[in-house]
Every structure is written in structure tokens, then in C-alpha cells.
């Protein structure tokens, strides 16, 4: 096998980031196991790139289907070098009034789907002694606090936590992990993919404001095709970061959040340390901000 040709396994390949990334990997000369709930939507990729594309039907909430998809990838290409957990969606509603069933369905895709695919990939990556796993999170998976996205952002925080543990567990096995944290991008994430519930009066100033922005249809600044090309370059460079923010807005939000966290931990350091046996106690609380 050409040492520069890699095999990618990408969930949610029919649209959005997944489609852009599949196209970028194929344009770079690589091979792609392109998974989607409706693989017929990948017919144009197959027509253009032929045997370098393996379309596979996959509902990421089905653990057995994830295992079968990796078995098909192995039969066809012999290995998988890059696993991309991209499939996901969000609906908008206050936590108080969102239907529990919908909250759980979102979590099933956005967290458990990542779990199923990551777990199904591990035996093959471990046997190979190499591989890169890309987990699509969001700036909200680092910063959070977007009203109306309780299930989505909770799942993204959980994906980050899971990935940090996986990275520690598999560190000696040659498996690397990259958590991608995009800001606003011109995909249909906030379009046809998103349901927006009626917002009760008590939440109009918070959830309602986000709903107005999303319904307004303002163009997001991020270019998903350019982001996909960046990710292909990062993977091929061979030393990816543990986390990669995408978009200027994402960088600004993350830096502001980190500065706030450092300032708060520093202000409360004496109080926090006083919980240890033998430490000075009690200590003064910090002055109100």
C-alpha cells in the first residue's frame, strides 16, 4: 500500500462536515469508508472516485451496525487509518420544557454514537498499532452555556471526557485522538437538521434570543470545505493537537473562557486548598466581584 494513501472511516458522510471531509480526503488521493443512514446519497462520490469509496449504511446508535461497518472496511481496504466521528445533530428547546424522549434521542446520536463507533474501531486500530480518531465536538463542547442546546452541549462535553480517557488508556498502542471544536459554519446544522420548539415566555430572553438568531438565517463565517482541507493536512502532518478549534469566533470564545476559568480558580485558590486536612482553615472568602 502507498504509505501516503490513508483509509478514512467517516460517519455522517452524506452532508455537512462529513461530506466536505470525505471529498477532501478523496481529493488528497486517499480512500474513504463513507457511512450514512442513506448511503444512496453518496452515489455521486462513488461515480466520481470509484473503488476508492466504500459507501456503508450506518446508524451510529446501533452498536452491532458499527461493528459490521468496520468489518466491511477491513474486508475492502484491509485497514483503517483515520476514524471520524462526525454524525450528530441538535434540536433547540429549554431544558425545562424539552421532551425527555427528544433529549435522549439527541444524546443517543451525539454521545452514544461516538461511543459505539470508537469502541468498534479499537480492536482494528490496536491490532494495527496505529490510527487517528477525530471526534467532532463544538466550541459549545468546551465553553457551553448556549441556551436551548442542553442535550447537544452536554453530549459534546461527554465526548471530550470520553476521548481524554481513551487517549490515556490507549497511549501505548499508537492511537492518537483529535477533538475538533468548530464555531459557526455554513452547514445545515441549524437548518433542516434542527427542530426549534416553541419557547415559553420565561425563556424568551435566553432560548428565544438564540432561536431568533438561528431562524434569521444569517450566514455563518466558517467554510466547511476549507476546514476539511485543514483537517486532512493536520492528520497527514503526523502530529495532531489534542484539540483543534476551527474558526475565528471559536478561538475568541475559547480564549475568553480559559482566561475566566484561570481567574476564578486563582481567586478561590485559598478557599479550595483549605479543604485539605492540615491546611489553614477557615480562610476568608474572596471579595465579591
* Pairing state between β 7-10 and 82-85: parallel
CA dihedral 61→189→38→119, nearest 10 degrees, is -30
Is the CB of residue 89 less than 8 Å from the CB of residue 12? no
User: Are the CB atoms for 25 and 233 separated by under 8 Å?
Assistant: no
Positive/negative CA dihedral, 272, 276, 279, 281:
positive
* For the chain, domain boundaries: 7-271
Q: Which of 20, 118, 138, 152 is catalytic?
A: 152
Give the pLDDT of the chain (289 residues) as one tens digit per residue: 455 799 999 999 999 999 999 999 999 999 999 999 999 999 999 999 999 999 999 999 999 999 999 999 999 999 999 999 999 999 999 999 999 999 999 999 999 999 999 999 999 999 999 999 999 999 999 999 999 999 999 999 999 999 999 999 999 999 999 999 999 887 776 666 789 888 999 999 999 999 988 877 666 788 999 999 999 999 999 899 999 999 999 999 999 999 999 999 999 999 999 999 999 999 999 987 6
Instruction: Name the residue among 199, 218, 241, 14 with its Cα closest to residue 91.
Output: 199
Residue 287's φ and ψ, nearest 5 degrees, are: -65, 145
For residue 152, indicate whether it is catalytic: yes
CATH tag, 7-271: 3.40.50.720
Q: Which of 20, 49, 115, 156 is catalytic?
A: 156
Which of the residues 13, 14, 20, 137 is marked catalytic? 137
What's the whole-model pTM score?
0.94
Give the strand order in the sheet containing 31-36: 53-57, 31-36, 7-10, 82-85, 131-136, 175-182, 243-246
Alpha carbon distance 268, 110 (integer Å): 34
Is 274 among the catalytic positions?
no
- Any alpha helices (H) in the chain, and if so which ranges? 16-27, 43-49, 63-77, 100-107, 113-128, 150-169, 207-216, 224-237, 248-267, 269-273
Q: Which residue has the cell 483503517?
A: 80
Active site residue 156: yes
Amino acid at each position: 500500500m502507498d504509505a501516503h494513501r490513508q483509509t478514512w472511516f467517516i460517519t455522517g458522510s452524506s452532508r455537512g462536515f462529513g461530506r466536505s471531509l470525505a471529498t477532501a480526503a478523496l481529493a488528497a488521493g486517499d480512500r474513504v469508508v463513507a457511512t450514512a443512514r442513506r448511503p444512496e446519497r453518496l452515489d455521486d462520490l462513488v461515480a466520481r472516485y470509484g473503488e476508492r469509496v466504500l459507501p456503508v449504511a450506518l446508524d451510529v446508535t446501533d452498536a452491532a451496525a458499527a461493528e459490521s461497518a468496520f468489518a466491511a472496511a477491513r474486508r475492502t481496504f484491509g485497514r483503517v487509518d483515520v476514524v471520524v466521528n462526525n454524525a450528530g445533530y441538535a434540536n433547540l428547546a429549554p431544558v425545562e420544557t424539552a421532551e425527555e424522549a427528544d433529549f435522549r434521542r439527541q444524546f443517543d446520536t451525539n454521545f452514544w454514537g461516538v461511543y459505539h463507533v470508537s469502541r468498534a474501531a479499537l480492536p482494528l486500530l490496536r491490532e494495527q498499532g496505529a490510527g487517528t480518531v477525530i471526534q467532532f465536538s463544538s466550541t459549545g463542547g468546551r465553553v457551553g452555556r448556549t441556551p436551548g442546546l442542553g442535550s447537544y452541549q452536554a453530549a459534546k462535553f461527554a465526548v471530550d471526557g470520553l476521548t481524554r480517557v481513551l487517549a490515556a488508556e490507549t497511549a501505548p498502542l499508537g492511537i492518537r485522538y483529535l477533538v475538533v471544536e468548530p464555531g459557526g459554519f455554513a452547514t445545515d446544522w441549524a437548518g433542516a437538521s434542527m427542530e426549534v420548539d416553541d419557547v415559553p415566555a420565561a425563556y424568551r430572553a435566553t432560548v428565544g434570543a438564540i432561536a431568533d438568531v438561528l431562524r434569521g438565517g444569517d450566514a455563518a463565517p466558517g467554510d466547511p470545505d476549507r476546514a476539511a482541507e485543514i483537517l486532512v493536512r493536520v492528520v497527514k502532518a503526523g502530529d495532531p493537537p489534542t484539540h483543534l478549534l476551527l474558526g475565528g469566533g471559536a478561538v475568541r470564545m475559547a480564549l475568553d473562557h480559559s482566561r475566566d476559568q484561570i481567574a476564578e480558580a486563582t481567586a478561590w485558590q485559598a478557599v479550595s486548598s483549605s479543604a485539605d486536612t492540615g491546611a489553614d482553615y477557615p480562610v476568608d472568602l474572596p471579595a465579591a466581584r
